Amino acid sequence: MRLLTFSLVVLAATGFAASGSGAESSARPNILFIVADDLATRLGCYGDKAAITPHIDQLASEGVLFEHAYVQGVVCTPSRTSFMLGLNNRHANPNHFIKNPDTMTMGRWFREHGYQTCAIGKLDHDDPQDRYVDPKAWDVRVKREEMPPATKPSQLISLDEDLGLKRTRVSAYGASESPDAIADTSRARRLLKFFSEERDPQKPFLACIGFHAPHVPWEATKAAWDAHDPRKFVLEPTPADATPMPGGSLLQEPGIEMSEARQREGMHGYYAAVTTLDSIIGDLLARLKAAGHLDNTLVVFTSDHGYHLGWRGQWCKHSLDEQVLRVPLIVRLPGAAGGTRANGIVELLDLFPSFSAFAGLTRPPHIDGTSFLPLVRDPASKGKDGAFCRGSNGRTVRTLRYRLTERFDGSVELYDHASDPLEYRSVAGLPENAGTVKRLAAMLLSELGPLPPRKK
């Protein structure tokens, strides 16, 4: 039984009916792009036994799940700038579009090629001045603040801790009785309104929706909260022999010291928010499918970056490591077999050229990404040699086995995922790894250019 059911409410609020009236008269394919915020691979389909995500798991069973999908920014702005422009962080810093407003964006590319484009919520990084949003990109655009929850949410509970140090605010969470109190419910309803009232059936669509969850504060329904047993959460104590991180590489240094009870409380808030989002997405897809909008539609689900729930005492994002840079990516191609997994490396900057290839459009000029459709059609095919990211304290490349991170202070870390998937022990200094360090450093130089001069 679904933890969140609001189909009848949606029908009443939007007049959206499963009559088939939304079926496209055009044979050109459509694209539905769904983006979560701060969602790590803490999903059932990614093997997380504590997760309750039946609808996203179902989507994965109908499509291709990418095991190694990576972002190009450790926080919202650089990541979203990168994948909406198809540029790596050598060419697209967080303020790239502000300084270069003529840069082609995903939305504008599709709009100029005959697509009706729609953006609900946070796709580009948005701010009150709309500096990051291309005014030529969207036929329909609705900002986050224009879609408040329909009813008042429950009062948030502060998550903090005091173990002899000064009290530290970690997050806040809340569990509301009704899904109407969740702003992401309003966002899903607004996308349904686009299809029922604003849809141009003479054009194919690029419809994008950016959800808030599980970004802080962690908001959930009471049903989702009650479904989780905190005893099942796996805590992440730092091993005594973990390699110390270079100064400035973590947002919380030396890390937030929290009791086991508080850690489980925080994880409870995050997992419940993810379960609530899962139910909203499940109902959204069910409504769209019933109306015929998904018959010729590529469905893509991902997140702008991951999130820490205790790794090295971190309750945040911001750092250059696996839990922040690896994200879920699920792609359902119309007519293709589902339930498969692609092991090859892809980057989110590949979304723009992949969508273009699917739509039969020419490759957008001056972009860095490459289409991952070959891996969708043949999940056993080879992916990229590496995924790259640059943050405030360094830059990194991830291959299928290794992660090499170069810090701007000159230090280097190498993590071997064959033996250390959580990246606790750097092996960069071992003589037998000198060749690997040199090879991966050359990849970083080729992709992201020379390191900036050290500050004296």
378 and 398 inside one domain: no
Sign of CA dihedral 414, 419, 423, 429: negative
- Residue 291 placed within a domain: yes
Q: Looking at the domain assignment, is residue 24 inside a domain?
A: no
**The domain boundary residue, chosen from 384, 415, 430:** 384
Residue 162 and residue 55 share a domain: yes
Span 145-201, pLDDT tens digits = 999 999 999 999 999 876 666 667 889 999 999 999 999 999 999 999 999 999 999
Looking at the structure, tell me whether residues 370 and 406 fall in a common domain: no
What are the distances in angstroms from CA 218 to CA 92, 138, 255, 279? 30, 29, 21, 15
Which of 328, 349, 384 is the last residue before a domain boundary? 384
Residue 237 has phi, psi (to 5 degrees) of -70, 140
**Same domain membership, residue 405 and residue 351:** no
* pTM recorded for the entire structure: 0.93
User: 198-244: per-residue pLDDT in tens?
Assistant: 999 999 999 999 999 999 999 999 999 999 999 999 999 999 999 99
206 in the same domain as 343: yes
**Alpha carbons 156 and 176: distance in angstroms, whole number:** 10
Q: What is the pLDDT of residue 454?
A: 77
Q: Is residue 1 part of a domain?
A: no
Whether 412 and 312 share a structural domain = no
Tell me if 380 is assigned to some domain.
Answer: yes
Question: In this prediction, what percent of the chain has a pLDDT beyond 70?
Answer: 92
The answer to whether 218 touches 270, Cβ cutoff 8 Å, is yes
Residue 3's pLDDT band (cuts 50, 70, 90):
very low
Q: What is the pLDDT at residue 434?
A: 98
List the CATH number of the domain containing 411: 3.30.1120
pLDDT class of 20 with cuts at 50, 70, 90: very low
Tokens of 129: 């001045």
Same domain, 405 and 312: no
Burial class (CB in 10 A: 0-12, 13-18, 19+), 211: buried
- The count of C-alpha atoms lying within 13 angstroms of the C-alpha of 232, restricted to the half-sphere facing its C-beta, is 10
Same-domain status, 312 and 444: no
Q: Does residue 2 lie within any of the structural domains? A: no
Same domain, 280 and 414: no
- 306-349 residue pLDDT tens: 999 999 999 999 999 999 999 999 999 998 888 999 999 999 99
| In a shared domain, residues 261 and 367 | yes
Same domain, 179 and 271: yes
Structural domain containing residue 89: 7-16+29-384
End-to-end CA, the chain: 61
Q: Domains in the chain: how many in total?
A: 2
Q: 317-326, pLDDT tens digit by residue? A: 999 999 999 9
Per residue in 399-456, pLDDT (tens digit) is: 999 999 999 999 999 999 999 999 999 999 999 999 999 999 999 999 999 988 876 6
134, 273: one domain: yes
Do the domain assignments include residue 109?
yes
pLDDT number for residue 127:
75
